[in-house]
Structure 1
Amino acid sequence: MPQPIPLKDHEKEKHLVNRRLLACAALVMSLVAVLVGRLYVLQVLQHDQQSAVSENNRVHVLPIPPERGLIFDRNGVVLADNKPSFNLTMTRERAGDSTRVLDSLAQILGLSEDDRHQFDKDLRRGRKPFEPVTLLVGLSEEQIALIAVNQFRLPGLDVEPQFIREYPLAEHFAHSVGYVGRINEKEAKTLDSTAYRGTQSIGKTGIERFYENELHGQVGYEEVETNAQGRVMRVLNHHDPVPGKDIVLSLDAHLQQAAEKALGDRRGAVVVLDPANGDVLAMVSNPAFDPNLFVKGISYKQYSALRDSIDRPLFNRVLRGLYAPGSTVKPEVAIAGLDSGVITPGSRVFDPGYYELPNYDHKYRNWNRSGDGWVDMYSAIMRSNDTYFYDLAHKLGIDRLHDYMAAFGLGQKVSLDMFEEAPGLMPSQAWKRATRRQAWFPGETLILGIGQGYMQVTPLQLAQATSLLASK
């Protein structure tokens, strides 16, 4: 027999539904109250702060790098120029997964692992949000086309027209004008981040480095409005950059080529000075290198070839080459003798082919072993007689000889605007005691009188000393 179906208690169900509706209503009202409270905090209590954050997200200041100043020779020949170039930049905030994008870029362009690692270094450098970072300089037409075709795979990457440095005469002025290169991490920490915003290169050597502040110029900027994806919607404000100052050097390109031709394929250095004012007219260090290799970022293979070459093309022989001057300093030693009153132009010394210090048996040989007989100052200089200058150096003494040679600029820096110059060495008693902890011997003074021994000078110092003689 079937069980009877119980009747529903409609009144009880009604109360249950009402309680549930009240609970839901209370929950909804609570949520609405929380939302209204949060809106009040954001819209009223934090209005100024949130407005500033919103404005910062909407408006960005983008740097406009200045055009670098040009470098000319004394006749107006361009030694360092700027040429238009297409560079690849990345805005990391628009790229999403930047690592994946850069991996895709390296694969599309067939770049090396060194290039890929360089991208990471460039992106790690301190920068402002939404500020583009230059990854590649001087894109070829093929690279531009590959990037355009694969743009959907490369968010945040843009091809932008910019100026890059160019050296029209290439290696002819590599050691004097120098070159610019990418700002590395060490330099980025010391540079004024505001003055160098958007700038990718800096003077590394030569004139480019010494006059960096004048050549760089002042950065400009644009205030732009962007959307949520970082796309520029419109330009709100624009300030043009101030180009760097042009520099005119005392160098003469025609004289430089003549000096190179005279030197030929030999390793060496040539310096030409104007005796009237000390201007450097030509400065050749052979062999040299093409500074344009460093502008875009030289590869490890290329740099290794230059660094490890037996000819040392990166070595500036004019400023850093240290050599014993030999007989080239004999006129300066003669001036020291005349000015100090030790000799007169007619003072004579007998040369049997050697010189002996009093109470010493050692013979200091003249290059002419048979001797030149009686020689005065004029004939000693004409014959480059060693014996005469052995005797003169002994009479002067090391300290007086040191002071006179230093007055000619030997053994010290003489350049005003070439920071790479080595000081060289003009020894003295005090120097030997401090560095060798030994006494100075009389025989060392003799060989110093003919430009030998500890004495080391650069070609520039020797040219300076000769220029002082020529200008009296």
Structure 2
Amino acid sequence: MRKFALRTRYSPQNTHDSDIERFRFRVVIAASVVVLGFAILFARFFYLQVIQHDYYATRAEDNRISLVPIAPNRGVIMDRNGIVLARNYTAFTLEITPSKIENLDAMIEDLGKLVEIESKDRRRFRKLLDESRSFESLPIRTRLSDEEVARFAANRYRFPGVEVKARLFRQYPLGSRASHAIGYINRINKTDLEIIEKNEQAANYRGTDHIGKTGLEQKYEFQLHGETGYEEVEIDAGGHAIRSLSRTPPVSGNNLTLTLDAKLQEITEQAFGDRRGALVAIEPSTGGILALVSTPTFDPNLFVDGIRSDEWDLLNNSPDRPMVNRALNGAYPPGSTFKPFMALAALEIGKRTAGQTISDPGFYNFGGHHFRDDKKGGHGTVDMYKSIVHSCDTYYYMLANDLGIDNIARFMGSLGLGSRSGIDIEGESEGVLPSPEWKRRRFKSREQQKWYAGETISIGIGQGYNAYTPIQLAQAIAVVANDGVFYRPHLVRYITDTKTGEKVLIEPEPLRTLAWKPENIEIIKKAMVGVNKEGTGARAFAGAEYVSGGKTGTAQLFSLKGAEYRAGKLKKELHDHGLFIAFAPADHPKIALAVLVENGGFGSQSAAPIARMVLDYYLLGKLPKGAAKEDDTPEEEN
């Protein structure tokens, strides 16, 4: 019975049924997996083809169509009379389309046998190649000569994918004239890219290789650049261009018309000759810059397509530092050009009257120290008029002590001395307006931070810690000439919109009006007129057909410690700086200026003759016979 029971439980029929059940279960599971898989595929298909249809259709179209940027024509810069200072011209370039060439290196080597290709050209091309797409045309050589164009044209069949194209290049037709004001353009670098992205201009700079680096080219970059155009190009799966579908033309950059007078600028630069220095001339009633000179200068055309290393070394390592904009970046002691401002401060604060006199023995004794006057034996009895006309140091030693450093700093600060003028060029220096507060910020030790009363004495004659830029001095005298109305100096007169032709005037911007008494201003102006009639500027302005006001100045570079200044015994770089400030015509000033001649010696000798040439041309249209020459017998002043 046991054996029968076992046979019944494990019969073949039962085993078969069990296998069938397991098989059916597996089939159900497999079918479920398959159905689920198809459901997932269908869901994904539905998502991609229906829900995401627009997105992927756009991407597919983008893969088929590429936008090739077309760089715009950069805006033109002109002077106040329409003389072109910066423009564009068309030149031939040799260009390669990498996608059409199998062996690029071999092609470039063969091209180099036909047209000269320097190592810098190859480096530039490789950089552009890394940043561009293979179907874009890239320049391997720029500004081909007619002979080179003809030579390539005769051999063009040998170079598929290479062609000659016309491209726009920046040009400064007057060369080095006003280069520190206009600036220059050069290739875009990493820092420039950060600025472009910060200003949300990245899309507009696709296809652009250059950007303004200094001067107006830098300050008005986004006005001058224009709007980039685009060409829609159909490409195949290999990235090769097939055909052009449409074209959106670029919009040229806006044009700048300046307050600058190019002819006045030329005459001023010629007047300096080979001397180092700076001049800033301002229209007092508007703040418009008539001339902005820094010598020596440089040719901005050298930078347009990448300056050669030897040329850069020559500029960068020159002891004359031609790349430094002395008009805006050079800070110098003002010397005796400081005295009219000191006198005006005394009148306004009430520390002096015009008729009040002092007795000048040739020195001022303060704290046991003799502060020497420039004239041995002194100037005798000196009132305010005589102190300016004959530049009496002793008068201003005493005045500085009476005014005190806080009053001096406050008044000079109101004139803009020791602060940026706000001119529309980047990189302006602040200069140094000395005060106890400034000294505490400047020095670390408590002993150095202490302000000594004797330091105020030197400040009074424009020496000591005083250091101002030529544009600050020009601005200060322009404010005096304009009876206390303070305008922001500017170079751009108006901007012309190339789309509409509309001229957007840069309105003169009066920053403030200083509450000076008119009679006090007249006292200072009258004394400055006396400087050019009978004082330290009389020799330079002898025979002038107009009445002008001026003040000479000489800035010492080191302490004489009581010794007499003898230029012949000093190295040239240790000679004093010559300065001159002026305005004209005296009754209704149209121009105010400041001149600096580095190591020029007395201001009456070096700077005043330059000012005379500038005023003669601007007021009378007279052209100078030659550059200013040194006069070895001027009336001395400091």
CA deviation after TM superposition for structure 1 residue 354, in Å: 0.6
Contact 1:60–1:130 (CA under 8 A) maintained in structure 2: no
Equivalent position to 1:258, from 253, 257, 267: 267
Q: Which residue of 2 aligns with 1:389?
A: 396
- The answer for the alignment partner of 1:20 in structure 2 is none
What is the match of residue 284 of structure 1? 293
C-alpha distance in 2, partners of 1:188/1:79? 26
Deviation, 1:68, is: 0.7
Q: How many residues align?
A: 429
Structure 1 208/407 Cα, relative in aligned 2: closer, same or farther at 3 Å? same
1:397 CA drift (Å): 1.1
- Residues in 2 aligned to 1:415 and 1:221: alpha-carbon distance in whole angstroms: 37
Per the alignment, in what secondary structure is the counterpart of residue 60 of structure 1? strand
Query: Which residue identity lines up with residue 318 of structure 1 in the other structure?
Result: A
> Does residue 398 in structure 1 map to residue 413 in structure 2?
no
The answer to whether the 8 Å contact 2:121/2:140 transfers is no
1:87 Cα shift?
Answer: 2.6
- Other-structure match for 1:305: 314
2:340 maps to 331
183-192 or 60-69, which moves further after superposition?
183-192
Partner of 2:525: none
Give the alignment of 1:312-391 within 5 angstroms. Answer: 312-357=321-366, 360-391=367-398
Corresponding residue for 2:186? 181
> 1:12 matched to which residue of 2?
none
- Matches of 1:242 and 1:203 in 2, distance apart? 18
Listed as ranges, the gaps of 5+ residues in structure 2 are: 1-40, 484-638
Aligned to 2:304: 295
Question: Which string of whole-angstrom CA distances, capped at 9 and with x for unpartnered residues, describes residues 85-121 of structure 1?
Answer: 2234444444455455445555654433333223323
**Paired letter, 2:382:** V
**Deviation for aligned residue 1:133:** 4.0
Q: Report the Cα offset of residue 159 of structure 1.
A: 2.9
Q: 1:150 to 1:420 in 2, by over 3 A?
A: farther
The equivalences for 1:191-202 within 5 A come to: 191=196, 192-202=201-211
1:442 to 453, 462, 466: 453
Q: Secondary structure, in 3 states, of the residue corresponding to 2:454?
A: helix
TM-aligned CA distance change 1:227 to 1:147, over 3 Å: farther
For 1:466, the equivalent position in structure 2 comes to 477
SS at match of 1:171: coil
Cα offset for 1:411? 1.5
| Separation in structure 1 between the aligned mates of residue 438 and residue 104 of structure 2, nearest angstrom | 58
1:68–1:82 Cα contact (<8 Å) kept: yes
- Contact 2:94–2:142, Cα closer than 8 Å, also in 1: yes
Q: Residue 82 of structure 1: which of 63, 82, 88 is its match?
A: 88
The corresponding residue for 1:31 is none
The alpha-carbon distance between structure 1 residues 301 and 105, as it changes in their structure 2 partners (threshold 3 A), is farther
Amino acid aligned to 2:453: P
Aligned match of 1:270: 279
Which runs of structure 2 are paired with 1:45-194 in the superposition (5 Å)? 55-102=61-108, 104-106=110-112, 108-125=114-131, 127=132, 130-145=135-150, 147-148=152-153, 156-191=161-196, 192-194=201-203
TM-score by length of 2: 0.63
SS in 2 for 1:172: coil
The equivalent of 1:35 in structure 2 is none
Gaps of 5+ in 1: 1-39
**1:247 aligned partner:** 256
Single out whichever of 248-257 and 224-233 deviates more from structure 2.
224-233
Aligned to 1:455: 466
What residue number does 2:438 align with? 431
Q: Tell me the amino acid that sits aligned with residue 184 of structure 1.
A: N
Amino acid at match of 1:449: G
- SS of match in other structure, 1:195: helix
CA separation of 1:139/1:400 partners in 2, compared to 1, >3 Å: closer, same or farther?
Answer: same
What amino acid is aligned across from residue 305 of structure 1 in structure 2?
L
Q: Which is worse superposed, 210-219 or 342-351? A: 342-351
- Output the aligned Cα RMSD: 2.6
SS of equivalent to 1:81: strand
Residues 298, 322 of structure 1: alpha-carbon distance in 2 compared, 3 angstrom cutoff: same
TM-superposed CA distance for 1:140, in Å, is: 2.3
One-letter identity of the residue aligned with 1:434 = R
Q: Summarize the Cα distance change of 1:51–1:89 in structure 2 as closer, same or farther, 3 Å threshold.
A: farther
CA distance in 2, matches of 1:471, 1:304: 44
Q: Evaluate the alpha carbon distance shift between residue 106 and residue 184 of structure 1 in structure 2; reply closer, same or farther with a 3 A threshold.
A: farther
* 1:464 CA drift (Å): 0.9
Flag the 1:99–1:183 CA change in 2: closer, same or farther, 3 A. Answer: farther
The amino acid that maps onto 2:356 is S
- In 1, Cα distance between equivalents of 2:419 and 2:466: 11
Give a deviation string over 1:107-156, Cα, whole Å, max 9, x none. Answer: 6544333332233233333x466444444432223443455566577565
Task: Give per-residue Cα distances to partners, 1:331-366, cap 9 Å, x unaligned.
Answer: 011111111111111222211111122xx1100011
Residues 1:422 and 2:440 are matched in the alignment = no
Relative to structure 1, is the Cα distance of residues 98 and 429 closer, same or farther in structure 2, using a 3 angstrom cutoff? farther
Measured in 2, the distance between the counterparts of 1:107 and 1:116 equals 14
Amino acid aligned to 2:463? Q
Amino acid at match of 2:393: D
Letter in 2 for 1:388: Y
CA distance in 1, matches of 2:414, 2:99: 61
Aligned to 2:491: none
Q: Share of identical aligned residues, percent?
A: 43
- Residues in 1 aligned to 2:113 and 2:58: alpha-carbon distance in whole angstroms: 41
Higher mean displacement: 264-273 or 197-206: 264-273
**Is the 1:180–1:295 contact (alpha carbons within 8 Å) kept by the matching residues of 2?**
yes
* Matched letter for residue 455 of structure 1: N
